[in-house]
Every structure is written in structure tokens, then in C-alpha cells.
Amino acid sequence: CLSDVRSCAFDFTLRFEPGSTFHPGDTRRSPTVLVGECPVGLVIFPKGTASTRGLHLSAFVEVRPRDDWDEDWEFPGVQVEIRVKKAANRTDDFCRRCTHTFTPECYDRGWHDFG
């Protein structure tokens, strides 16, 4: 379903203060967005995954498989880019990008250590 899509971008705003009540491992998920016919979304860990000990924001793009897909679905060579923007200071924006093959065993791609 991604083969006919060259580019897709969407915004997801998650506001939080440094002293917020988020803990490492807490997640927030974006609404699902269709890329072609493929449902995707963002998974944000405001205080990072458990491995970051609360020192970094973690962010991932995930494919949200449909029930009618074959069990061996695959989307090879997808260009993934996640950009994190701090509202207070635009000079502290972070961007990471890579190419990833999404499969049932590897349905997400992102980074544990944004800034």
C-alpha cells in the first residue's frame, strides 16, 4: 500500500512541561493517518523508553496493520523521518531519518534518544 506514495507528512502536537508527571515508559499515540491505504501513526515516549532512564524523549513511526492483511505483509525501503520541534526554542529542533522495511516482526522504526 505504500508503493504509490512518495511522501506523507503529518503533525502531532504533544505539550508537556519538564516537570510533568510523565514517567519513563509512558506513551502517547497519535491518531492513525493513512499513507496510501496503509495506517500509520506516531508513538511518543515523553520521558523516553525505560532504557533512557527519563533523559530523552523517544519517538517511533509504527504501521498499524489492518485485520484483512496477509500475515506476512511487508513494506520495503520506506524512508522514515521524525522531526521533534520544541515550541519554546526553534533552534533546538531534532530530526532523524533512515530507510526501513516494515514487517509484522518489525512494525515500527524510531529512536530512543531524541535530544
CB neighbourhood size of 101 (10 A): 11
Spatial separation of the C-alpha atoms in residues 72 and 111, rounded to whole Å: 25
Max CA pair span of the chain: 44
Judged by DSSP in three states, 8 sits in: coil
Spatial separation of the C-alpha atoms in residues 13 and 31, rounded to whole Å: 11
Write out the three cell numbers for 78: 520506506
Tens-place pLDDT, residues 46-91: 889 988 888 888 999 999 999 999 999 998 888 888 888 776 666 6
Backbone angles phi, psi at 67, to 5 degrees: -65, -25
Are the C-beta atoms of 32 and 65 separated by less than 8 Å? no
Tens-place pLDDT, residues 20-47: 788 899 999 999 998 877 899 999 998 8
Report all structural domains of the chain as residue ranges with CATH numbers, in order of start: 28-114 (2.60.210.10)
Name residue, grid cell 524523549.
Answer: 57
For residue 31, what are the CA distances in angstroms to 12, 44, 61?
8, 12, 12
Is pTM beyond 0.85? Reply is no
